[in-house]
Amino acid sequence: MLKKHILLIVSLLFIFSSGSAQIGGRYSFAFLQEAVSARIAALGGNQASINDKDINIGFVNPSLITKSLSNNLAMNYVNYFSGVNYGSVQYARTFNKVGNFMGSIQFMDYGTFDYADEAGNLSGTFGASDFAFTVGWGRQLDSMFSIGAAAKLIYAFYEGYTSFGFAVDVAGTYQSKTGWTMSVVARNLGLQVTTFTPGVRDPLPFNLQYAISKRLDHVPFRFSMIYDHIEKWDLTYNDPNNPSGGIDPITGQPQQKTGFSKIADQFMRHIIIGGEVYIGKNFVLRGGYNYRRRQEMKINEKPGMVGFSWGVGVRVYKFKLNYARSTYHQVGSPNYISLTFDINSFTNDEVVRF
């Protein structure tokens, strides 16, 4: 039975990756790529292979929706750029005869815009928003393997234009006896069912990821790494105004990387690394580095901390509060705030099983 489950996961992931290899260009529902959890944002990416009873991890990796998350609630808020705000709410519940489930609502609010004619005369305002409603399911196969899936209903409203879509995530996780946790997750495989304009259907932001983590035995530190976009090797975005090899100081012409430096650059664009330092039982420091983000968003003359992220986590009474900042550009960094807690801890009642 275990071999059949593993074969099914591998087959599904292969089908997903071979049919969804587009990177870059236009996406529908691109907000699905954004990290909503402060912890995940601090670690540099939007996936994690950490099994430590964090409901926000189950949101991005459904194979880690476990029994230990039952009756847990999470609320996330992100103060993004230029008046854009987004966030999510997650709730998990276990039903003995069915499995472990998680429901979530995710939104992105783009703010208020002015109506104006060709002459610049204002005549009111309008809004734009994205929403996703997700139901995730996870199951522990044995002491080492777990699987999970999540189905998403997606809705976008931009002024008078609307679009509806459907997507699924599929994941599998292996936990070794020595403490390593490894996950493969296929995210956002789906379809834009109704489009903003007739005949123009854009792909969803599909991503096939491999993640690994390990909390060290004798040091209060956890290491994590993501190999992003397994389905495509070359993720390079060539910007003629900001070339990957910089500008030749003599000729003033763009320089492109070649040979080994080009191969190393392409490989590193897949890699996201992060770490957590545990200070006592109630305080955590986090940091991450996203090489691809740095290469695409930095200004060569003044790269600053673009691509780096950091955050803190504290436990106050029965609440876990996390905060993070992730540097996308010199103009500023989004602020991430997450609050999670176990509802059972306030009642001391047993979880009702069905």
**Could you tell me the pLDDT band of residue 309, with boundaries at 50, 70 and 90?**
very high
Residue 14: the pLDDT is: 45
**Could you tell me the pLDDT band of residue 191, with boundaries at 50, 70 and 90?**
very high
The residue ranking higher by pLDDT, 77 or 297, is 77
120-124, 188-192, 288-292: lowest mean pLDDT where? Answer: 120-124
The per-residue pLDDT for range 7-61, each reduced to its tens digit, is 444 444 444 444 444 444 578 899 999 999 999 999 998 888 999 999 999 999 9
**Does residue 6 sit within a domain?**
yes
**Could you tell me the pLDDT band of residue 238, with boundaries at 50, 70 and 90?**
confident
The two most distant CA atoms of the chain are separated, in Å, by 73
**Could you tell me the pLDDT band of residue 230, with boundaries at 50, 70 and 90?**
very high
**Does residue 198 sit within a domain?**
yes
pLDDT at 243 over 90: no
**Does residue 326 sit within a domain?**
no
Q: What is the mean pLDDT of the chain?
A: 87
pLDDT at 254 over 70: no
**Does residue 19 sit within a domain?**
yes
41-55, 68-82, 241-255: lowest mean pLDDT where? Answer: 241-255
**Does residue 309 sit within a domain?**
no
Residue 96: the pLDDT is: 85
**Could you tell me the pLDDT band of residue 286, with boundaries at 50, 70 and 90?**
very high
d(CA 149, CA 139): 9
Region 257-274: mean pLDDT is 90
The residue ranking higher by pLDDT, 5 or 221, is 221
**Does residue 266 sit within a domain?**
no
The per-residue pLDDT for range 107-135, each reduced to its tens digit, is 999 998 889 888 888 888 999 999 999 99
Q: Could you give the number of structural domains in the chain? A: 1
The residue ranking higher by pLDDT, 68 or 298, is 68
**Does residue 306 sit within a domain?**
no
The residue ranking higher by pLDDT, 68 or 349, is 68
Evaluate whether 184 touches 13 at the Cβ level (below 8 Å): yes
**Does residue 242 sit within a domain?**
no
The residue ranking higher by pLDDT, 17 or 242, is 242
Residue 246: the pLDDT is: 63
Residue 232: the pLDDT is: 93
**Could you tell me the pLDDT band of residue 247, with boundaries at 50, 70 and 90?**
low
What the block records as the tokens of 177 is: 């006896």
The per-residue pLDDT for range 156-167, each reduced to its tens digit, is 999 889 999 999
Contacts of 313 (CB under 8 A, 6+ apart): 38, 39, 283, 284, 286, 320, 321, 322, 323
Region 288-309: mean pLDDT is 89
Region 176-189: mean pLDDT is 95
Domain range for 212: 2-227
**Could you tell me the pLDDT band of residue 348, with boundaries at 50, 70 and 90?**
low
**Could you tell me the pLDDT band of residue 253, with boundaries at 50, 70 and 90?**
low
Instruction: List b or e across 309-341, with b for residues whose CB sees 16 or more CB atoms inside 10 angstroms.
Output: bbbbbeeeeeebebbbbbbbeeeebbebbbebb
